[in-house]
Amino acid sequence: MALFNFGKKKAEEKKTPACACSCGCSAGEAESITNDCCPDLKEGEIRCIKVLGSGCKSCHEQFEYAKQAVNDMGLSVEVEYITDMRKVMEYGVMSMPALVVNEKVVAMGKVLKAADVAALLHKLGF
């Protein structure tokens, strides 16, 4: 049995899982997303809209549809397009494109047309 190291007991080592951000912290100690656009957010107010993507055609389409929806609704909010994978992973998004409103992921994994984005914003109370 020593051939496959069965029967030999090794001191068990506790391994902490590595974090997704590669900063060296353990997964339980990973920092939360900094809320840079919404520090004094009022109820029913949109401060920031972000489209998270990898730069593919679907992600570009989602970005354009989100900008169109903001313009159609008459909002004075700039839509930001984020392709940096480190920042995308901070939001916990695993399928793209993703739509983030006021630092909260509201949709991911599918392209929403402009009317769908506007309907989603209305449903969320904006």
Which of 11-15, 39-43, 76-80, 106-110 shows the lowest per-residue confidence on average (mean pLDDT)? 11-15
Query: pLDDT value at position 16?
Result: 42
Query: pLDDT value at position 58?
Result: 95
Whether the pLDDT of residue 4 is over 80: the answer is no
pLDDT digits (tens, 9 = 90+) for 23-54: 444 433 333 444 456 556 566 688 899 999 99
Asked if 47 contacts 92 with a C-beta cutoff of 8 angstroms, the reply is no
Query: pLDDT value at position 24?
Result: 46
Q: What is the CATH number of the domain that holds 115?
A: 3.40.30.10
90 pLDDT band, cuts 50/70/90, is very high
The verdict on residue 18 lying in a domain is no
The verdict on residue 13 lying in a domain is no
Note the pTM of the prediction, 2 decimals: 0.67
Query: pLDDT value at position 39?
Result: 58
Query: Into how many domains does the chain fold?
Result: 1
> Which helix H or strand E contains 108, and what residues bound it?
strand 104-108
The verdict on residue 119 lying in a domain is yes
The verdict on residue 12 lying in a domain is no
- Strand order across the 104-108 sheet: 79-82, 49-52, 98-101, 104-108
Query: pLDDT value at position 110?
Result: 94
The DSSP secondary-structure symbol of 105 reads E
What is the residue range of 70's domain? 44-126
The verdict on residue 49 lying in a domain is yes
The verdict on residue 83 lying in a domain is yes
The verdict on residue 5 lying in a domain is no
